[in-house]
Amino acid sequence: MSNDVEHEKRALRAELRERRQLLSDSQRDSAASAIAERLDALIEGLGARSISCYLSSTTEPGTRQFVASAVRRGIRVLLPITRADGLLDWAVATDDDEVAEGLFGLPEPTGEVLGPIAVDDVDLMIIPAAAVDRDGMRMGWGRGYFDKTIGSMEKCPPVYAVIYDSEILDFLPREVHDQPVNGVVTPTQTLELSPTRR
């Protein structure tokens, strides 16, 4: 890993994390409602019946409202569970899912654990990000779980990152393992990008 790129990413992540922490509860709530509407429209437009998503933490753009409503509408939603070996297990979201604290203090489902390949059958992946650039390159929070998952899938479905509008950047520092996304969903827009998969 190039030290320059690593330092650049670390500084950018710190700045983005700080910006997210400055948002008020009402800004977070209205962003979560807008994101839920956009994600609903996205799965409808793609005709997705099985998706993967994640349970947002306090500072992340909210996905929990969307997950609950998708489950109520009969959409199969897989939620990630972090493993110590850097892979993700999955659990099917249910209406009454309790939430546990995962490896890194992030919210995770408590349902029956399915292995890493459970995600191979989804029609759409909705993933977290710190930022995405206009070429579709995604920067996560540095643990590599989603890069590893996307990079190892034989037939990857469309992948959309959920971020705030200010986190769409012109260019992001990148490393060989970084995986691009097909689009982003923000409180104000769903933006399709044309990433080149390596």
Query: What are the angstrom distances between the C-alpha of 35 and each of 59, 67, 132, 153, 175?
Result: 14, 11, 16, 26, 29
Q: What percent of the chain has pLDDT over 70?
A: 96
Q: Which residues of 140-163 are buried (b: 16+ CB within 10 A; e: fewer)?
A: bbeeebbbbbbeebeebbbbbbbb
Confidence of residue 196 (pLDDT cuts 50, 70, 90): low
pLDDT digits (tens, 9 = 90+) for 66-96: 999 999 999 999 999 999 998 999 999 998 7
Q: Are strands 159-162 and 183-185 parallel, antiparallel or unpaired?
A: parallel
Sole residue written with tokens 């922490």: 21
Average pLDDT over residues 162-169: 97
Give the DSSP letter of residue 111. Answer: S
Comparison of pLDDT for 176 and 182, the residue scoring more: 182
What predicted TM-score, i.e. pTM, was given to this entire model? 0.93
Measured in whole angstroms, the distance separating CA 26 from the mean position of its chain's CA atoms is 22
Domains and CATH numbers, the chain: 3-192 (3.40.50.10420)
